[in-house]
Amino acid sequence: MAVVSTPATLERAVPVMDNAEVLRIRNDFPVLNQLVNGQPLVYLDSGATSQNPVSVIEAEQEFYEQRNAAVHRGAHHLAVEATEVFEDARQTIADFIGADYAETVWTSNATEGLNLLSYSLSNAGLWAAQGRGDQGLKGLALKPGDEIVVTEMEHHANLIPWQELAFRTGATLRYIPIDDQGSLRMDQAAAIIGPRTKVLAFTHASNVLGIINPVQELTALGHAAGALVVLDACQSAPHLPLDVKDLDVDFAVFSGHKMLAPTGIGVLYGRQELLDILPPFLTGGSMITTVTMERAEYLPAPQRFEAGTQRISQAVAMAAAANYLTETGLDRIHRWEAELGQRMVAGLEGIPGIRVLGPAAGKERIGLAAFDVEGVHAHDVGQFLDSQGIAVRVGHHCAQPLHRRLGLTATTRASAYLYNTTDDVDRFLEAVAGVRAYFRA
């Protein structure tokens, strides 16, 4: 099941991770074994970009050393091998999220996946009006009077593409508000999601609040209204077991660089029956069946959405990253990160002048914590921590509306992963405890 248990109800059927195992895992990540400003590096910015284990680095290097060629285009030996490892990587990622092979589309990142989807939906109306494509496109086309629903906690990548889709089609963008603790107002969600809703898009886990949203409850509301349900899984796919079929979403996106893979690679999942009828987003070579001087016909998914030279080495490396996470055990990783997250929040709540966003200590959250230090700007907090070898994220974390709702312009965010220890968290907390005194706040 992809439903996440609370810390109190987590099963103990599999071995629990501990600091000794994490230290062994840490040895797989070369970048972590260095000094920053004379201090051992404590990397607590995996919510932005994770680090890469040796197996992922070697997978990409091995491709360039042994198989570098264009995929789907050549009949020579290297081209055949490149195509095989590229498509094997697709199958690995499909298995990783419980999807089918043809439902997994390579993108540059999750942001591109969401833009791909929003532009394809806006083109659905144009194609339907011209009698082009499948008749099912009429049901996907948006028009004035239709509504797109998001949440107040969304990352800009899952907000702006829907703003622009509303602009292009005349639809109305609405949002589910949060309460003062950052939780979705589910009582209002049931009233906002209705017969006019054509798209419901929301994050699985907030990159600021650490909250894990009730995916199946929201999906049920969306499907009852006849809406397409789009899941931003950027902060969930790397950290907890994810089964898109079990969650029953229509589309989902996530990025490789947040799950131990290189930058420049991401995934769009979509139900095959939907992907096969949606108009393509980017056009050109490798995604066509027939081209004349007047028009083109397009392949079914996933190639339908993969124009041009592909991200071959990155895809191979992303598959290696998925294998690394699977072999470690995503349920174990989630349990360990939940423990680190609780340790962070409990520690931060005990420091005077600190306001932690999201669930309080003891409440379910992923392994990150964003916080405000009274009287000290987030950028100053980040620089102070960096001087002690501790890497965190500062700013609005691409979630300005959320920060505005909570009365803030910026926060500091610490985000843990499978290579962080309790000592990392304790060093972080000790440093944060000295921030206000250092700046005489």
Contact 386, 38 (CB under 8 A): no
Rounded-to-integer distance, Cα 367 and Cα 416, Å: 5
The DSSP line for 360-389 is: PTTS---SEEEEEETTB-HHHHHHHHHTTT
The helix (run of H) or strand (run of E) holding residue 40 is strand 39-40
Token pair in block for residue 200:
């419901």
Contact 226, 72 (CB under 8 A): no
Closest to 216 measured CA to CA, from 186, 183, 191: 186
Rounded-to-integer distance, Cα 413 and Cα 428, Å: 11
Closest to 435 measured CA to CA, from 416, 417, 415, 412: 412
The helix (run of H) or strand (run of E) holding residue 232 is strand 228-232
Per the residue annotation, which of 79, 398, 408, 433 is the catalytic one?
A: 398
The DSSP line for 162-224 is: HHHHHHHH--EEEEE-B-TTS-B-HHHHHHHSSTTEEEEEEESB-TTT--B--HHHHHHHHHH
How far the first Cα of the chain sits from its last, in Å, is 47
Rounded-to-integer distance, Cα 293 and Cα 251, Å: 34
Distances (CA, A) of 263 to 86, 151, 192, 239, 420: 16, 27, 36, 18, 21
Beta bridge partners of 419: none
- Would residue 234 show up in a list of annotated catalytic residues for this protein? no
Place of tokens 């895809």: 315
In the chain, the amino acid numbered 299 is L
Question: Residue 108, SS3?
Answer: coil
In the chain, the amino acid numbered 388 is Q
Contact 232, 153 (CB under 8 A): no
Rounded-to-integer distance, Cα 210 and Cα 256, Å: 20
272 — phi, psi (to 5°)? -60, -40
Catalytic machinery residues: 398
